[in-house]
Amino acid sequence: MAAALTLAATVANLGAALDFVAGQAEALGLSERKAARLAVALEEAYVNVCNYAYPAGQGDVTLTCAGDGEFFQVSLRDAGIPFDILDQPEPDIAAGVDDRPIGGLGGRLIRELSDRVAYRREAGDNVLTLAMRRERPEGQAGLD
């Protein structure tokens, strides 16, 4: 089962994007702790689409959630210019206040907060998939 939501890729729609994914994550059994990590990773990915995918104007982003196996996952698909946020240079996180450039942390946050992440270019779209491992509730044996 997958659920999808298409939004105009604007920062004003960030709340709608986060709410949709949080609702799906809860329904599909992702723990609160994992959902909190996913929310930040999702914001970074979503805002990146808003800011860079459509330099010539407006476009859409489609969020698709699925979670019937080991992972809960959300994909962000946009028809914008090719851009892989995972392929950006690693920021120097040891640099002091004066030497640190402002920005450039989105890719690192996505990589570190997600359990799995993948980018692909498919049929002219950017598709970024973030996945979180689902944890079984304490004391319950699972059969998956």
Partner 1 sequence: MEIRTAKEGTATIVTVAGKLDAVTAPEYEKAISALIQSGDIRLIMDFAELGYISSAGLRVILAAAKQIKARDGRLAFANLSGNVREVFDISGFGGIFALHGSVSDALAGLG
- Whole-number minimum distance, CB 96 to partner 1, in Å? 6
- Whole-number minimum distance, CB 70 to partner 1, in Å? 22
Token match 């270019």: residue?
A: 121
- The DSSP result for 28-60, as a single string, is TT--HHHHHHHHHHHHHHHHHHHHHT-TTS--E
Nearest residue to 128 via CA among 55, 57, 47, 67: 47
Query: How many residues of this chain bind partner 1 (CB under 8 A)?
Result: 27
Q: Is 86 in the site for partner 1 (CB under 8 A)?
A: no
Q: Is 40 in the site for partner 1 (CB under 8 A)?
A: yes
Residue ranges in contact with partner 1 by CB under 8 A: 11-12, 14-15, 36-37, 39-40, 43-44, 47, 91, 93-98, 100, 102-103, 105-106, 108-109, 112-113
